[in-house]
Structure 1
Amino acid sequence: MRKIILNEKDMPDFYYNVQVDLPEPLLPPLHPVTREPIKADDLKPIFPQSLIKQETSDEREIEIPKKVRDKYLSYRPTPLIRALALEEYLNTPARIYYKHEGISPAGSHKLNTAIPQAYFNSIEGIRSLTTETGAGQWGSALSMACSFFNLKCKVFMVKASFEQKPYRRILMELFDAQVLPSPSSTTESGRKTLETDPNSPGSLGIAISEAVEEAVKNPDTNYALGSVLNHVLLHQSIIGLEVKKQLKLADESPEILIGCVGGGSNFGGLIAPFVKKKIKNNQIRLIAVEPSVAASLTKGIFEYDYGDTMGFTPLLAMYTLGHNFVPPPIHAGGLRYHGMAPIISNLYKNKIIEACSYDQKSIFEAARIFAKTEGITPAPESAHAIKKAIDEALIAKEEKKERTIVFLLSGHGYLDLSAYEKNREIN
């Protein structure tokens, strides 16, 4: 079976809350000033009550509102595709499947959380959302979702990506978003950064500081985050829920699930419904793939740290490279983050998931192989998962063992062609 496609009626009508399956409870976020555990009221200046409730929920299943489902149906369920041409090229006995989230109107998995975040803010009377974006996938998704629910949108785009990826900015502006390169001169956070380093390439941590500052200053504005937080991974669980149904249709039992990680949202969404099985019988491998220049899991330490550079956000218990860490510019801008989602950090600390990292050259080589065999140009972020899937398929070949490998193609790379061109020039 080449493509496993679910009917619209088979799209999940609930999100899966993996928090209930964690081997140990998450440590509480701490207030950035008092360093005491955060109370729900502390989050009200930047988040709607419904998302605050989801952030701390202990319910396994959380219903997807009808208006959110209606928007999802423009592109969901997404296909699970057998990579037969890639298998033939590698001459491997492994069966390789990829979940294609790049077919969403925004071009990536980010719309899965942008839609509910915009919806929940709109029904609570918020008029504007502010956010950060690295490669522009999250900014594009939130800009689109805000237009669905008549919200204004301001996006602080990491300057390195702002300069590398003009078409992402154009897409955001198409949906009437205001897009600013971060660090910018419009916020105190941005000005402080520019005073220290006028040529700063920016980072997600800096852009988060600017976006949170903007939200706190304006009572009709909230902040939206595209990764890291529990409610974001909750919304992304729709990916794994669909994969579980699709694999059942294909009569497959996955042995390896792979996703790229920056903050952890797409990987968390893929593996959420499989964590319980992993803990119970340990027969499945869940592998997170990082860029070597921002490898918070494999090179960071587990401790409380701020989610942003300026220390505006709550302190989260996570693997981190330090909130002042500014990674060098890479084309996988969506993965240039200093920390990892608390849920993913919890799973890694307890050895439920694995992690590895690759350099930029090797992931572009994998991306080219995938493009030439499967005919899809992947986002540089997604190419990290492709690289690991290829490596695992080659191990299966060496061992002469069949193996079922599933990776998440989190987004397409058609707005990243300049990155491919520059990488080719370098090599």
Structure 2
Amino acid sequence: MVVDRREEILPKYWYNIIPDLPKPLPPPRDPPDAEFSRIDLLRKIMPKEVLRQQFTVERFVKIPEEVRNGYLNIGRPTPLLRAKRLEEKLGTPAKIYFKFEGATPTGSHKINTAMPQAYFAKNEGVEHVVTETGAGQWGTAVALSASMFSMKSTVFMVKVSYEQKPQRRTIMQLYGGEVYASPTKLTEFGRKILDENPSHPGSLGIAMSEAIEYALNNDYRYLVGSVLDVAILHQSVIGQESLAQFEEYGEDPDILIGCVGGGSNFGGFAFPFLGSKIGKKFIAVGSYEIPKFSQGNYIYDFPDSAGLLPLVKMVTLGKDYVPPPIYAGGLRYHGAAPSLSLLLKERIVEWREYSEPEIFEAAKIFAEAQGIVPAPESAHAIKAVIDEALKAKKEGEKKVIAFNLSGHGLLDLPNYELMMKRLSK
């Protein structure tokens, strides 16, 4: 008799790190010269239950059975795999494990929060949802989740990624989503940006602002993919599954690593392990080209470029920062989630930043060893894994290293091809 243990491993509750932070999280607030309340604006554009969960201090939030069934339907729990071939290739005594979020239908972790947000919106009678997307993974997850609950979706995709990743655009359209290259002429903010610079490459902050304005003007609902802590709450299924899977392996990771755009995949993977943080190292990995960890400030800032959302205290390069058009589009964001920012500030979480040539080499090493082509975003985490594994080799330590492979890179092959051509010159 075959025993299906998936339901046992899949958690029944989301984990909320807010009550377990070392200090109270600074609350969101309106700017001092506010002409309108940004917090009231959230009530107009976000599903009510999503907004309630954003501000909850409950340590555990029950996952609706409909959402759990949806998680099972998309293949959760995702596998926790040992990268033995990578260990052998590096000659390290360390054990390396990775949580493979690329195993979901949309190819990344993003559907873990898109699905519940769409579910809560549908329960409130919403017929149309709107969002932004950088590399396309989040937009893909929203388009699929909206179609699963018989809703329409509109996605504002950062222009440089819209042009670099036409396959992502096609998948969103196959799922029934409308996709626009941001900045657009559909919104007042988009028209303002284009008037100033008709060839603007776009940014996640701009696309976010356009999505919010579009949702507000049309009485649609806005779904948030990262940065706000409710997204990290939903993503905690990753880390909680990993805890159960490591227990089955009889292992306990010493080092936990994830890449950071806004912070949802890192937080979703690492935060459930923070309760037993004694002796553990947590490493958040960003882009050298988007230097928010090394050059950002821990201040109150707007999550979106137009300043429509409330100010939150976070590590940020500033809402007006224009990121360069790197291939890891999901990391082209000016800030980091408030909870992660606080943990970085308190030095409970360490950080690294790597350049495109470095992450390309790491992606190539991983693909040769394990056969999986990682997303460029995930390759940043892999570079940190390789560094830690080689450090363990040098010091003769048998560490257990775990990282979140947040998505596969099969739709990033044109970008990898361009990197290969550029680096071969």
Q: TM-score, normalised by structure 1?
A: 0.96
d(CA) in 1 for partners of 2:38 and 2:201? 34
d(CA) in 1 for partners of 2:182 and 2:272? 36
Is 1:117 aligned to 2:117, yes or no? yes
d(CA) in 2 for partners of 1:34 and 1:153? 34
Amino acid at match of 2:90: L
Do the aligned residues in 2 keep the contact of 1:257 with 1:287 (CA within 8 Å)? yes
d(CA) in 2 for partners of 1:295 and 1:44? 33
Q: Which residue of 2 aligns with 1:382?
A: 378
Q: Which residue of 1 aligns with 2:293?
A: 297
Q: Which residue of 1 aligns with 2:310?
A: 314
Q: Which residue of 1 aligns with 2:223?
A: 224
d(CA) in 2 for partners of 1:38 and 1:295? 31
Q: Which residue of 1 aligns with 2:95?
A: 95
Do the aligned residues in 2 keep the contact of 1:6 with 1:79 (CA within 8 Å)? no
| 2:414 aligned residue (408, 418, 427) | 418
Do the aligned residues in 2 keep the contact of 1:211 with 1:223 (CA within 8 Å)? yes
Amino acid at match of 1:405: I
d(CA) in 2 for partners of 1:323 and 1:10? 39
Shift of 1:253: 1.3
d(CA) in 2 for partners of 1:413 and 1:189? 32
Structure 1: state its 5+ residue gaps: none
Write out aligned runs for 1:26-105 (5 A).
26-32=25-31, 41-74=40-73, 75-105=75-105
CA displacement, residues 340-375 of structure 1 (integer Å, 9 cap, x when unaligned): 100100111111100110001110110011111100
Among the aligned pairs, what percent are the same residue? Answer: 52
Amino acid at match of 1:379: A
Write out aligned runs for 1:272-421 (5 A).
272-278=271-277, 281=278, 283-421=279-417
d(CA) in 1 for partners of 2:131 and 2:226? 11
d(CA) in 2 for partners of 1:222 and 1:349? 33
Moved more, 372-381 or 27-36: 27-36
Amino acid at match of 1:228: V
d(CA) in 1 for partners of 2:35 and 2:269? 32
Shift of 1:36: 11
Number of aligned residues: 419
d(CA) in 1 for partners of 2:205 and 2:51? 21
Shift of 1:49: 1.4
d(CA) in 2 for partners of 1:271 and 1:394? 22
Q: Which residue of 2 aligns with 1:253?
A: 252
Do the aligned residues in 2 keep the contact of 1:48 with 1:121 (CA within 8 Å)? yes
Shift of 1:324: 0.4
SS in 2 for 1:154: strand
d(CA) in 1 for partners of 2:101 and 2:32? 39
Alignment root-mean-square deviation, CA: 1.5
Shift of 1:8: 2.9
d(CA) in 1 for partners of 2:348 and 2:202? 33
CA displacement, residues 264-294 of structure 1 (integer Å, 9 cap, x when unaligned): 000000111112222xx3x100100000111
Shift of 1:250: 1.0
d(CA) in 2 for partners of 1:129 and 1:309? 20
Q: Which residue of 2 aligns with 1:175?
A: 175
Do the aligned residues in 2 keep the contact of 1:43 with 1:52 (CA within 8 Å)? yes
d(CA) in 2 for partners of 1:227 and 1:405? 25
d(CA) in 2 for partners of 1:399 and 1:6? 38
Write out aligned runs for 1:121-200 (5 A).
121-200=121-200
Q: TM-score, normalised by structure 2?
A: 0.96
Do the aligned residues in 1 keep the contact of 2:38 with 2:308 (CA within 8 Å)? no
CA displacement, residues 78-128 of structure 1 (integer Å, 9 cap, x when unaligned): 110000000000010000000000000110000000000100011011111
